[in-house]
Amino acid sequence: MDGERNETDNKVNAMKRNVWLVALVMVAATAACGKRQAPVQPEPQTPPPVQAPPPARPAPTPTNDGAAEREAERRRIISILEQTVHFDYDEATIRTDAQERLAAKVPLLRANPGIRIRLEGHADERGSVEYNLALGMRRANAVRQYLMEFGIDGSRFETFSYGEDRPSVQGATESAWSQNRRAEFRITTGI
């Protein structure tokens, strides 16, 4: 049931992204930017991998010379904003490497105030199932708090936790665990 809905959601979201792409081009052309653009879209439960660029789509206005550049810029923004940050064992403190990644997101969030993000916290497989749900939530909230300190409006972030149930790497090794202790970023609307 959920699987079906996700598929539908993915299609709907893909369509919506196209619509937003057109909207973005128009907005950029008139240099009218800054208004909150839409209600939050439902987020698919199994979105595409974090680092992968969105699938190539035919440009909506192939005659427009700037479209390719704008699409490239859009992809660059998505890839920076959706870059995952990692955490130490049993911790929700923002590490130095995570601080750098978050700092890179700040100017993009400022320049695109319509962007809203779902922050998904994750834990490694050690620890109690339900407590790990809380640990993931703590991590998502720590990221939100950190970005708010840069003046980003906290209401632009929705926080969620999958606990240990959505590992990015399978396996019971320190390397797998360190990859799985993370917060992921899903842009839900605004780009």
Annotate each residue in 118-137 with x if it binds another protein (CB under 8 A) or - if it does not, as one string: -------xxxxxxx-xxx-x
Query: How far apart are the C-alpha atoms of 53 and 167, rounded to whole Å?
Result: 20
Query: How far apart are the C-alpha atoms of 162 and 1, rounded to whole Å?
Result: 19
Q: State in angstroms the smallest separation of the CB of 31 from another protein.
A: 35
Q: How many residues bind another protein (CB under 8 A)?
A: 30
The single-letter code of the amino acid at 171 is G
Toward another protein, which CB reaches closer, 52 or 172? Answer: 172
Tokens of 175: 């390397």
In this structure, the strands spanning 182-189 and 116-122 are antiparallel
CB atoms within 10 A of CB 77: 18
Among positions 71-100, residues that touch another protein (CB under 8 A) are 90
| 37: three-class secondary structure by DSSP | coil
| 108: three-class secondary structure by DSSP | helix
Q: State in angstroms the smallest separation of the CB of 117 from another protein.
A: 15
Using CB under 8 A as the binding rule, whether residue 162 contacts another protein is answered as yes
Among 13, 20, 21, 43, binds another protein (CB under 8 A): 43
Binding positions for another protein, rule: CB under 8 A: 1-3, 42-43, 45-46, 90, 125-131, 133-135, 137-138, 141, 145, 159-162, 165-167, 172
